[in-house]
Structure 1
Amino acid sequence: MKKFSLLLITALFAFGMSAQEVQNVSNGTVYLKDKASDHWYIGLGGGTNLYLTKAENDADASFGDRLGWMGQLEVGRWNSPVWGTRLVIDGGHIKHVANVPFGPEQNWLGGHLDIMWSMTNALGGYNADRVWNLAPYLGIGYMYGLDEDWKKPNPNGETLKFQNQSLTYNVGLINNFQISRSVALFLELGWRVMQESFDGSPTSGDYDYDSMLTGTAGIKFGIGKQDFTPAELMDYNLINDLNSQINRLRAENEELRKRPESCPDCPEVAPAVTE
């Protein structure tokens, strides 16, 4: 009985330890907590960009003449079926149709760190076999205009004001099309805001900004396990029943412990005399 009670206690202890290895995500769904090396991905893509200012929009140019090109490399991780983060390194070529100091063409390098929210998993529930997933993102980044061998146009000015470099604020939509658990195609539409002086134009204040629309497409490769496994939680009635059995076995063991270890000596019995 003692061995059996120890087995029950061990089983409950193992269940308690496994319960600590789960993480609670949206909609009250609980998933097993995977290794830190799981749910990573790397992506590579390319596309186009459109620089937006009033002068650019008013210029006498066709839509196609305003389109530049760009490429991006990204590394990210989904921390749950709903929330993820990523780092994007990008760069490209901007076509200016307005009369700006940096000329009609401008190369740039940059990057941004984003938080991603899987709208389809949050609103429609997690499904590892879903083909299409929509994920809005929000982030902050940096852009540097490649002008005159990395020289600042205003050497005595502030680092991120009146220069060909700027902090950026990024928002967008990511469309992921799953081919397999480890391979997906993506189509991304983004919008970023940067300092008005990024194209060399004079600034009219501290809070005046230009912006740029981007569109990219490419492929992503998963690193490590990609799907999330729902935790199979035990029935609380079963847990209560196991606790009752443990308490009953403890009581029986206590009663057995109170019994004497050996029987007392029996008195000698006189032999019966028969006539």
Structure 2
Amino acid sequence: MKKILMVLAFASVSVAGMAQDEPTQKFSVATNSFWSNWFVQANLVGTSFYNDGESYRGLLKDYRTNLGASVAIGKWFTPGLGLRTKVNGIWGRTVISEDAETNANKYWTANEQVLFNLSNMFCGYNPDRIWNFIPYFGGSVSRNMSYDQYAMGLNFGILNTFKVSRKLAVNLDLAFGGHETDFDGAHFTRDGKRWNLEQKDRTVSVEVGLTYNLGKGTFDKVPDVDAIKALMQSEIDGLNDQLRAAGEENDRLNNIIKNHKCPEAKTVTVKEVAVAPVSVFFNIGKSKVASKKDLVNVKNLAEAAKANDKTIVVTGYADAKTGSAAFNQKLSEKRANTVKAELVKMGVDASKIEVVAKGGVKILKPASYDRRATVEIK
């Protein structure tokens, strides 16, 4: 028995020493439903008994130690806080003498424990973390079946879990427990009277087993509301800039019409409208047109170019803040060719279209406005 407990203790230290934690990015999580984040555990337990009337030294001696088992079910309410109900026992050796047979008895202990996952509390929630460090404390009710005795108790310990997969983990539990004085069932007769031995039993346990996560065993990341608002505001600002540019262009054309004395002023105005560059926007890393509405102005420009036998220049861009220079160069070329293909669909001769790729640039703010292709008449 001594050798078994020594092997368990040595294995626990070795495994804990080898456990490497993953780098963690902190973020908020959403609270799951009641039926999520449940787990079950099964363990092999080595337990050593001693009482408060003796020294705790010599815990590995055979007259006070025995193997047992434990099973548990629990739930994590947050990444850092959980509850666990655990039953352990079967065989034990409460210390009445230094004889293993005299001390032997059968018992069980039902524990209700509060779990604190300090790894998640201090390092941030990470569902892929290899090692979780989880102290706990709780109360217990025990029954010594050999002596038909019940006793209340307290316990605390450290649960270590080592991730195998999202569903399965190896757990190492180091626990300490205390019982009321009547747990060991030992009685003495003095002057014809029976009285309990006024010594409280203590237990030190090492448990090794498995944890299995039931159903959904992770917590969802809370959407970053500020980032969503910033993105929406960026899009609104972009639309406002387009409206402002359109208004300025309209004023410029009105001035041309107002000040032009040529009888063909209206015809010239139509040509000038077509000359204004048109932008077609794309999503990050994509070469597919983000909104078909952008192609409406392109079509107007294409009609003007065809009517006047003009060449169209399509220039592709990417934002320099994302992607490598080589990637952005190819991306800008793909964007320009996408718009060229749309122009061909509109009836523009491919020989009348020039394609230019500018690669990653820093022209507009925010950077998302640089994810575009411009179309203009040469």
What TM bracket, shorter-length normalisation?
0.5 to 0.7
Matched residue, 2:169: 184
Deviating more after overlay: 91-100 vs 102-111: 91-100
Q: How many residues align?
A: 200
Cα pair distance change 1:60/1:34, threshold 3 Å: closer
Report whether the alignment pairs 1:229 with 2:220.
Answer: yes
Measured against aligned partners, the alpha-carbon deviations of 1:149-175 in whole angstroms (never above 9, x if no partner) come to x4xxxxxxxxxxxxx210111100001
Matched residue, 2:129: 130
CA distance in 2, matches of 1:235, 1:61: 57
CA distance in 2, matches of 1:225, 1:60: 44
Equivalent residue for 1:174, pick from 159, 166, 186: 159
Deviation at 1:83, TM superposition (A): 0.4
Cα pair distance change 1:79/1:168, threshold 3 Å: same
The answer to whether the 8 A contact 2:50-2:56 is kept is: no
Measured against aligned partners, the alpha-carbon deviations of 1:176-207 in whole angstroms (never above 9, x if no partner) come to 011001000101011111112211245476xx
CA distance in 1, matches of 2:196, 2:95: 19
Deviation at 1:147, TM superposition (A): 2.0
Matched residue, 1:82: 80
Deviating more after overlay: 119-128 vs 79-88: 119-128
Deviation at 1:37, TM superposition (A): 1.6
CA distance in 2, matches of 1:224, 1:180: 14
CA distance in 2, matches of 1:228, 1:192: 32
Matched residue, 1:113: 112
Cα pair distance change 1:86/1:30, threshold 3 Å: same
Cα pair distance change 1:54/1:86, threshold 3 Å: closer
Deviation at 1:39, TM superposition (A): 0.6
Report whether the alignment pairs 1:212 with 2:211.
Answer: no
Deviation at 1:142, TM superposition (A): 0.5
Matched residue, 1:32: 30
CA distance in 1, matches of 2:80, 2:159: 13
CA distance in 2, matches of 1:227, 1:135: 17
Q: Which blocks of at least 5 consecutive residues in structure 2 are unaligned?
A: 1-25, 187-194, 238-378
Deviation at 1:228, TM superposition (A): 1.3
Measured against aligned partners, the alpha-carbon deviations of 1:121-165 in whole angstroms (never above 9, x if no partner) come to 1111111111111100111111000126x4xxxxxxxxxxxxx21
Deviation at 1:57, TM superposition (A): 4.1
The answer to whether the 8 A contact 1:56-1:96 is kept is: no
SS in 1 for 2:121: helix
Measured against aligned partners, the alpha-carbon deviations of 1:13-34 in whole angstroms (never above 9, x if no partner) come to xxxxxxxxxxxxxxx9531232
CA distance in 1, matches of 2:124, 2:34: 23
**What root-mean-square deviation, in Å, do the aligned CA atoms of Structure 1 and Structure 2 show?**
3.1
Equivalent residue for 2:178, pick from 187, 193, 202: 193
Deviation at 1:73, TM superposition (A): 0.8
Deviation at 1:238, TM superposition (A): 4.7
The answer to whether the 8 A contact 2:48-2:65 is kept is: yes
Cα pair distance change 1:125/1:99, threshold 3 Å: same
CA distance in 2, matches of 1:107, 1:171: 22
Structure scoring higher RCO (CA < 8 A, sep ≥ 6) equals: 1
Measured against aligned partners, the alpha-carbon deviations of 1:202-229 in whole angstroms (never above 9, x if no partner) come to 5476xx6321111111111111111112
CA distance in 2, matches of 1:60, 1:229: 48
Q: Which has the higher helix share?
A: 2
Deviation at 1:110, TM superposition (A): 1.9
The answer to whether the 8 A contact 2:49-2:59 is kept is: no
Deviation at 1:235, TM superposition (A): 2.0
Q: Which has the higher strand share?
A: 1
The answer to whether the 8 A contact 1:66-1:95 is kept is: yes
Cα pair distance change 1:233/1:59, threshold 3 Å: closer
Q: Which blocks of at least 5 consecutive residues in structure 1 are unaligned?
A: 1-27, 151-163, 246-275
